[in-house]
Amino acid sequence: VQDAGQEMVASSGTPGSGKSKLDTLPKEDLIKFAKKQMMLIQKVKSRCAELEKETEELRAKAASAGTDDIIQALTERLDAVLLEKAESQQQCIALKKENIQIKQEAETAVAKTEELQKQLEQSNIDSLEEIKALKSELANAQCKHNEDLKKLKIELDEQVKKQIELVEQVECYSDSQKEIRRLQDDVQRIKSTYEEQILCLNKQLETVNEDKNKEVTNLQETIKNDSQCYHNEIKNLNEELKKLTVAHQEEVSELMHRIEISSKENEEKQNQINQLQHSLAEKNAKDEMHGHTDQCESELEQLREVLNKNLGNKIDVADTQEEPCVEAKMEEKVRYLEHSLEELRSQHSILKDELTYMSNVKLKLEEEIHRMKDEYFHEREDLDFKINELQLTKEDYCCIIEKLKLELQAAGQHYETVAKEHKLEIQTLKEQHEREISELNETLLSSSEKEQMALVFETQELKEQLEKLTQEKEEAVSNYNSLRETMETLQAELGESAGKISQEFESMKQQQASDVSQLQQKLRAAFNEKDILIETVNRLQKEVEKLSSNQLETEELQCKLVSLQEDNNTMANSINQKEFTIRELEEKIIALTDQNRDILNDVKCLGEERKTLQEKSKQEKVKIQELQQKVDVANQHNNGLKEKVEELTERLNEALTTKGENAQMLEQLEKQIESLIRDKEQLSSEVYTLREENRKLIQEKGELSEELGEITSEKDSCLALKEQSENLEKKLQIVIAEKDQISTLLENEQVHTSLVRTQLCHLLEQVGSSISDSNEEYDSLDLLKIANECLSKIKEEQCLAKQKEDEVINLQREIERLEEENAAQHREHRSLIQDFEKEKDLLREELEGVVSEKEALQYDIQELKNVSEKARIENQDLLANIEEISQKLALYESQIQEQQKGSEKQDDLNFILEQKETELRNVKDELSSLKNLMETMTEKTDQQSSVAELQEKIGMLEKESAEKGEKLNKIKVVAVKAKKELDASRKEVQALKEELELVRAEKDQLSASMKDVIQGAESYKNLLMEYDKQGEQLDAEKGRANNLERQIDDLTKQLQLSSEQHDQLHSANEDLLARVETLQNNAKLLETQILEIQRAKAKADKELEAEKLLKEQKTKEYSGALREMEELQMQLQKEKKHLQKTMQELELARK
């Protein structure tokens, strides 16, 4: 009982863990666990039986022994039994739970097995259907293969018959061969004549090319010389313009300096007059305070002082005399003033005369300036007209060059097409020649006539081709001559225009030199006159200043005379008349001063206008320099075009050389035909190598048959069947390809038969030559014997040939396959070359489209400006979106920080799990302590056998606990649950200790509980039986799985082989891709060149637009200058009218 209790305790130590680990354990471990539990139950049953026996023995001993000993033994046994009962109850509960879980797992396993069985059945059905389909395809393929073999056999028989017919035709071939030789001689003669003609044509082309090159060089030299002459003339003109502008600027600066000096002097004089007026006003205010008499005296004294200052006479003022003397002196002073007024009038008339003279001089100068401007304008218009003419000639020259380029391109394309047609014709001739040879081999009797006809046709075709070529050559020569004539006419026109321009330019130079000399003389005279006039003006200005001072004094005197009229009525009339005259003179003087001011303002405006004109002239000089630069650029562009023309001529020369090379290629082809005849003889040596390769192929066929046997043996598995079906499909494709190869080999065999025929012909020729040599020595009988021997040898060779044909067929198949592969590669290369040529044509078309799109780009520029404005608005919107995105990024960063905080929480949880692991370790220590207690309990017992068994069980349990500990380390979450279950078990142990006393009373119920346990064990045994059956099924499935794994390994090997083949194909594809990439790179380079050309065109367009804008600005500036000149003329006319009015008024005043 104690041993059983110990076993139950050992098993109860892991109920929670077993419960929690059933889901993770595999089926094999579950089966082992169930077996162990069954063993424990059986041991419990045996132990119960022993206990029953012991109870019966104790009952028997109860009669003899004392009651005390019995009671003690029973109490001890009851304690042990109660412990075992509690442990057994716990184990029963755990076993029930495990049974429930095992049933559930069994149900899931049954469902899974049913699904797997259904899948297996479906896969088997599919595989059987695929096998049937493959079998049907194999049967069809075999039938087709048999039919093809039958056809091949029939064709072989036909070929044998044809060979027999050929032997018969060989006899007739000897007669026709002589005619063939004659025809070959004729062909060689015709070839020699054609070669001579081709050489003559090549020489003519070389001479034509040399003439073209010479003409092009002469044209280039003439154009360079003309451009240099133009550059030199333009430089000289620029230098002369600079000199003239410098002289003009110096003159204008001197005039402006003089005008500024005169303006300053006038301003100083005006300031002095103002000061005098101010002083006079102050004195008048002071004198009004004094008496009338004092005023008269002071005024007389002031008048005397003023008169003394004006006349420059230094006369001392005498003391005041008596009143009657004053009146006499006043009359004398009035007379003196009248005399001074008359002198002033005379001086004023002189000034007016001088002003008229100055105005006339001014008008003359303005007319000269206007004339100079008109001359400058006309010269400028002439220069602009000449520049436009040069630009037009340049554009015409560019158009002519473009036309020449297009014609050269067309000629090159035409030459390429002709070369291609020539190549195609050569190929067609070769094919026709081969066909004719085959026809000669088939029908030897009629071959001579057919070949003669074919040669005649060929000669006619060649003659027609030569005529076409000569016509094309004549057309090219005529085109060249027309181009040459156009170029000569253009050169002549350019020379004439250049001569005219140079003559006109020289005449313009002479006119300008004469005009400049005249202008210089006129300017010198004008300057002298100006100096004289300036002196007179200065003198007049001084007098005017004196007069202005006198006028002020007279005004004051008039005011005083008005006050004196009350006293002197007699003097009033005379004084009033004088005042009227003085007032008129004052008004006229004021008008003259105003006119002088207007004249000064006009002079200043003219100076400003001169400055503006100088600035405009500078700008025009800068523009002229820019135009010169553009002309240089245009000359450089012309030089580049000339270089391109030279390159095109070189290409034409190369094309002519290629024609010569084509002629050489024809000769080489004839040599190659002879080498092919030699190669035919070498084929006999290659036959032996082909036989060895045929043997290798036979061995490979045997290996393939073995592989087919292996494939049929591996049809049991589903996956293998699928992959084998794929292999069979591939093999079917290979068989179909072999069929195609066989068909091609038959064609090659026909070719080979033709070659054999030619060899036989050569043999007969040798025989014929020997006969011809031996005609003189042997009779006809000997000749017949020799012929019979030859025929017997030929028949023996035919027999050997029949035997060898089978071997040769296979070899020819391989050769044809290789030839087909090479042909496919050649086709691919040709297709790539054609694609590249198409791309070139497309690029050329694109260039033409670019020229047409140039105008559309000008409109697109304006649209781009609008788009740029829209883009700015969109950029602003994008900036707003970026700000929103930055805000979103800030939110995402906050979320990431929160996630980091969550990761920190996860670290805390991991720390808690580690703590729980330490708690589990403590639990293990407690379990070990319990084991030690159990060992102490076992020491109390006397049964050594049970102790040994318990020790073994404890060791087993320790091993199991170690395994379970490893599993517990893997599953941490289960450890937490186990801890909770351990806590619950502790509580249950405490409860069980309390129930131990109650269990002693339930001793009689133990037997019933044991029966229930036995029934549960029996049901558990049934479950174990079912699990054993399922385990066997699983073993069978494992075996199937192993078989499938083997098949999978085989398939992987096959896949590796296919992958290697795929890698080879991939490498080939990579090579092709590399070639394609090179072509793409070349295309990209061409695209970049096109883009550069487009950019250069865009730059040229921009420059042209800038030139147009500059021209428009010049025209606008010129129109503005004309308007300003017209306005100045209007102002001058107004001034003239005003001067005339003043003159009339002066004349009226004199009268």
Alpha-carbon span 1132 to 1137, nearest angstrom: 9
Which range among 402-416, 890-904, 1019-1033 shows the weakest confidence by mean pLDDT? 890-904
Looking at residue 716, the DSSP 8-state letter turns out to be G
Taking residues 414-428, what's their average pLDDT? 72
* 1050: confidence class by pLDDT, cuts 50, 70, 90: confident
Alpha carbon distances (Å) from 1105 to 895, 1109, 1112: 59, 6, 10
The helix or strand, by DSSP H or E, that contains position 566, with its residue range, turns out to be none
* 223: confidence class by pLDDT, cuts 50, 70, 90: confident
Taking residues 261-266, what's their average pLDDT? 71
Residue 516 has pLDDT above 70, yes or no: no
Residue 784 has pLDDT above 60, yes or no: no
The answer to whether position 662 is within a domain reads: yes
Instruction: Write the pLDDT tens digit of every residue in 574-617.
Output: 656 666 766 776 676 677 667 667 766 766 776 676 677 667 66
Alpha-carbon span 687 to 806, nearest angstrom: 12
Contact 1136, 359 (CB under 8 A): yes
Enter the tokens of residue 97: 């739970």
The answer to whether position 931 is within a domain reads: no
- The number of residues in the chain equals 1151
**How far from chain centre, in Å, is Cα 1005?**
96
What pLDDT was estimated at residue 19?
45
| More confident: 324 or 439 | 439
Contact 301, 272 (CB under 8 A): no
User: Which of 836, 348, 280 has its CA nearest to residue 547?
Assistant: 348
**Averaging pLDDT over each range in 130-144, 332-346, 716-730, which range is the top one?**
130-144
Max distance between CA atoms of the chain, in angstroms, equals 209
Taking residues 427-440, what's their average pLDDT? 69
Alpha carbon distances (Å) from 614 to 238, 242, 603, 619: 15, 11, 16, 9
| Identity of residue 446 | S
User: Which of 1012, 1143, 960, 1136 has its CA nearest to residue 363?
Assistant: 1136
Which range among 48-57, 79-88, 648-657 shows the weakest confidence by mean pLDDT? 648-657
Enter the tokens of residue 990: 């405490």
The answer to whether position 331 is within a domain reads: yes
The answer to whether position 629 is within a domain reads: yes
* 7: confidence class by pLDDT, cuts 50, 70, 90: very low
Q: Enumerate long-range contacts of 689-695, CB under 8 Å, 24 or more apart.
A: 690/807, 690/808, 690/810, 690/811, 690/814, 690/815, 691/807, 691/811, 693/811, 693/814, 694/807, 694/810, 694/811
SS3 sequence of 841-877: HHHHHHHHHHHHHHHHHHHHHHHHHHHHHHHHHHHHH
Contact 208, 477 (CB under 8 A): yes
What pLDDT was estimated at residue 162?
73
The helix or strand, by DSSP H or E, that contains position 77, with its residue range, turns out to be helix 67-287
What pLDDT was estimated at residue 453?
67
Alpha-carbon span 139 to 907, nearest angstrom: 70
The answer to whether position 533 is within a domain reads: yes
What pLDDT was estimated at residue 982?
66
Contact 86, 8 (CB under 8 A): no
CB neighbours of residue 441 within 10 Å: 20
Instruction: Write the pLDDT tens digit of every residue in 794-847.
Output: 667 666 766 666 666 666 676 667 667 766 766 766 676 677 667 667 766 766
What pLDDT was estimated at residue 946?
55
What pLDDT was estimated at residue 14?
43
The helix or strand, by DSSP H or E, that contains position 61, with its residue range, turns out to be helix 27-62
Instruction: Write the pLDDT tens digit of every residue in 130-173.
Output: 777 777 777 787 787 778 778 777 877 777 777 777 777 667 76
Enter the tokens of residue 580: 């009227």
Which range among 312-316, 841-845, 959-963 shows the weakest confidence by mean pLDDT? 312-316
User: Which of 87, 5, 74, 86 has its CA nearest to residue 43?
Assistant: 5
Taking residues 380-400, what's their average pLDDT? 72
Q: Residue 332 belongs to what domain range?
A: 290-313+320-442+463-477+491-564+582-680+1088-1150
3-state SS assignment for residue 798? helix
Alpha carbon distances (Å) from 1090 to 413, 845, 1084, 1087: 20, 12, 9, 5
Alpha-carbon span 12 to 24, nearest angstrom: 20
Alpha-carbon span 131 to 1, nearest angstrom: 67
What pLDDT was estimated at residue 776?
37
What pLDDT was estimated at residue 1072?
75
Enter the tokens of residue 366: 């303005």
* 315: confidence class by pLDDT, cuts 50, 70, 90: very low
SS3 sequence of 967-1023: HHHHCHHHHHHHHHHHHHHHHHHHHHHHHHHHHHHCHHHHHHHHHHHHHHHHHHHHH
The answer to whether position 772 is within a domain reads: no
Average pLDDT, the chain: 68
What pLDDT was estimated at residue 123?
74
The answer to whether position 64 is within a domain reads: no
What pLDDT was estimated at residue 11?
43
Residue 214 has pLDDT above 60, yes or no: yes
CB neighbours of residue 1136 within 10 Å: 14
Enter the tokens of residue 421: 């047609």
What pLDDT was estimated at residue 752?
62
Alpha-carbon span 1104 to 364, nearest angstrom: 42
What pLDDT was estimated at residue 778?
39
Number of domains in the chain: 1
Enter the tokens of residue 143: 């039938």
What pLDDT was estimated at residue 463?
67
* 746: confidence class by pLDDT, cuts 50, 70, 90: low
The answer to whether position 654 is within a domain reads: yes
